[in-house]
Each structure stands twice: as C-alpha cells, then as structure tokens.
Structure 1
Amino acid sequence: MKLSTRLINCFWLLLVLPVSQVNAMQSIEEESLRHVSGQSGMDLDLNFKGTIGRTYFETEGNTLNIRNFSIDTDGSNDDAINPGTDRPIKMVLDLVTRGTKSGLSLSITEINDLDLRFDQINVNGDQTADSIVGQMHSFGGLALTNINDNGGITDINVFARGASGEEGLQLEVNLPETLSMRFDYIDYGDDDLASIDDFTFGGDLTLNNFSIANSIDLTTGQNAAGEEIGGLHIGVITQTGDMTLSNVRAGDQLGTMGRLVVNGYTMTPDSYLTIQGK
C-alpha cells in the first residue's frame, strides 16, 4: 500500500471516530466556563488533612520560617470515609483561551469547611541549624477556619503572556460572590510555651465579589553592593471587592467590639510588588 493511500485511510478513520475519543481536553472560551456543563477536562475531588512541620526561605543568612502549617479540607468531618458523609472539594481543570492568550482554568466548588493554620511565623538573621529548629520568638500564628464558598464558584485562570509579546504569567482569581471564614491571630508573649501572656485577635471575615488579576514575571536589579540579583515582579492588573470583619474579639475581653466594613476596595493598575534577594 502506498503512503498516500495510508494517509487517506487514516483521515477517514478520524472522521468516523466519535469526537470524545479524539479530544480528551478541549480549549474553550474563558467567558463560557461558568455556563458549560459536561465540558472536557479533568474532574478532581480533594479531601486532604495534613501538617508540614517547618518550611523556610533563606537568603544571605536570613530566614523566613513557617512552622506547623496544617490544612484540613473538611474540618467538620475530618476522617470521614463513608461516601454518604464524605465532603470533598470539587475541581474541574481545563484549557482556556482568550484572544491570543491560552492557559489553564481551575474551577472550584463545594468548599464547605476548609481550615488553614500557621502555628508560628518566625524571622531570624542567624542561619544555623539550631536557630532554625529551636527558635522560640515568633510573630505569632494565623488561622483561617470554616472557609465556605456558600454554594458559589472559585475560578482560577493562569495565562502565558508570551503570545502577546509580553513575558511571564497572568494569574486571575475570581472568588465566589460570598466567601466566609473565621479569622484568628495569636501574638505569643515572651514564652511561646505558655498561653498566659498570649494576645488573640479575630472575627468572622466575609469577602464579597473579590476579583484579582496579577502579572508575574522575573526581574533583575542591583543590591547595595552593586551586584546583579534576580527576583520576582508581581504587577497589579486589577483588584476589587468588599470585605467585612464582624464579631470582632480581642484579648480576654467579654463580648465583641462590633464590626469593620470595607466597601469599594480597588487597587490601581500601577501598583506592584518586587521580591529580590540581598
């Protein structure tokens, strides 16, 4: 059989095959994601509970340490294995296009009781094994618990910016219409092992219609000694939303302090954050 005849037969075979057998993951227009059911891609269910004992970032002998970071995707039903009571977070991963840009889209639903805890956050200028493991002084701990999407959808899009002549990535996060959680901060006293001198602050935090779009790119510069160093440049494309901190409590006071409301939060496109080593 000649090569041309084989190619023709392969072409006809592709026409006969069902489309679902040819394309496992299809690219769809980004604005249609919320209105498409049964689109190609990957369905992911996440039910996770775990702890990371210590994570640190080091540069020129200085360290930023996060100790005892824990995550529980279903805090009210920690170890459920019964399909009738198990409540995993649902995710759909797919390709997405917008004009000349292409990337990945992650749609997240059914966040019922997600818990995130940072037991201690430390900064240390003495980069030795003993100082990292055994340091006692801390900026405190942070807990975001009972995170709930209230039946909404979290959309995360990651685009490659190279197609339009720009470098780096474009990260977009559209939170649900209402994302609620419990916020708690603990400022440890002189002795982190004792709770008698700890100070706590927290309340019920609600985010409404939060939308974030940032550009992420590598950058270069010079330190104080004139040496060339690299880093990350995070630019703001848009950030908008409203937030409310209610049932505010501080220290050992009785009752609550009321609430704090921030409406019409908008960050200008000229804002940016640059992170570089020393």
Structure 2
Amino acid sequence: MSDLTTKVTLADGYEMPLQGLGLYKVTSQAELTGVVQSAWESGYRLFDTAQMYKNEGMLGAAIKELSLPRDEMFVTTKVAEANQGYDATLASVEASLRELDMDYVDLLLVHWPLHQHFFETWRAFERLKDEGLVKSIGTSNYGMVHLQYLATKANEQPVVNQVENHPHLTQDALLQYHQDNHIVTQAWAPLGRGSVLAEPVIVEIAAKYQKSPAQVVLRWHVQRGTSIIPKSSRPERVVENGNVYDFALTDEEMALITGLNKFERISQEPEQVYERGAQYPH
C-alpha cells in the first residue's frame, strides 16, 4: 500500500509527493522548525509555503538548521496578489528565493486569479520556468472558467491547481476538468472546518477502522487521487495526518463521504476575487 513516499507524475514530467505539509499560519521560527522536523522524520517531503504566509524565510532557516537535503524535498511557494504582473512577479520570486535560500522552487503557484494581470503574471511564470528558477508552474484557487481562459493564450498549461476541497465542497466538476486536462488537483483545507469532522458518517467510519475522523477524510482524498497538504503547527497532528496509508475505504464509504457535499466554502469565491482584483478583507 502507498505511503508518504508516494508521488504523482505531473504533466511536465516532474514528480511531486502526493501528500505534504501546509505551513499557513505557522508564524514562529521555533514552531515551524519543530513541525518541519516532525514532518521530515515521519516521511513528509513536500513543504507548502507562500509569500502571503510570511514564513518563507522561516522555512529556509528550518531546512538549514536541520541540515535537510534540498534534493530530497519538494518546495512550493505562491505569488501573492500584490506581487502579480510581469515585472512584479519576477522580482517577487527572486525575493522568495532569497528568503528560502534556494536556487529554485519545485512548484510556483499563482495564489489567486486576478483580472488585472491575468496573462502577464503567467507569462512571467513561463519565463521563470525557462530560466530554471522554478521547475513546475501551476495555479491556486482557479475555477474552471479561469483555467479555460488561461488556456487561450498560455504556452504552458498549469500542472497543478491547488483549491479548497473537502467533503462539504467536493468540487466534482472541477476535478473532472483537471483530470481531462492533465492537471493535478491539490487540496488545501482538505479537512474543511470542524463541522466536517463531526459528520456522523465520518465518525462512524473512523470508529470502524480505529482511525480519527481527520484520517478518514484524508484517506478519502487519497483514494480520489487528490494531492493533500493539511496544515498543522502541532507535531503530533502532523504525524497523525500522515498515517492514512494502512487502510482503505470501501466504494460505499467513499460515496457516503462524497455525498456530504454542501457546496459550502470556508474561503472566498474565486470568481469574486478575480472580478474585484483582490480578496475581501478577512
């Protein structure tokens, strides 16, 4: 059975770990170093940061302090809304690399789709890939319409789209579009909010397998072929989240969890962000 070493091959030929550690809201150096150490020792090799998280430098410092081999890890970062546009994107990624103390990142994502610099930002991404500063390029929070629009002018298509995805927002149509167009779905907030984990059907399945509700939901993602980056600042939770490869859900259980869909977002609607040109204050 697969484990934390399981990788998915992206459309550009590079491999990406199926599961990684999200670092959103991890804001102290000691906390981040501790959680990265626990993750690494558990087998995690993908670490997901972003300009907006303001912890790229902390991740770089943690990797250096722990003497982790760069060639064995996969690092993702994202270009913030304020840094979009051709020149601004190029400059911001150079700054990110300095913060991370790295020569390249494995995956660079546009954090949110914005109408102002939609194609210019992507043109910068393509240049950064050509120059070897990033290996793979992708998107985050793009809806189907944004991916279709991007495809009209892009020389390279995104290989990953990182989106909100959990049992209360199953995104079935978008996931099918991704599959049809060789885009890997990566779920941020794969556990949704606490209400997902309190769903009776998930609690019941968890009891059957002697797993936590969170482990059941993460297993559901894995069996759907979705990459997951659950975030946590607690080492014990990071270890727990990685222990989802020693059991399998039945087809009926998979369908029951998928049936919990409520089209319920915990974040903002991508089309509204695109039209407004920024996220609403939150």
The TM-score, its normalising length taken from structure 2, stands at 0.20
Larger relative contact order (C-alpha < 8 A, sep ≥ 6)? Answer: 2
Higher strand share: 1
Structure ID, larger Rg: 1
Higher helix share: 2
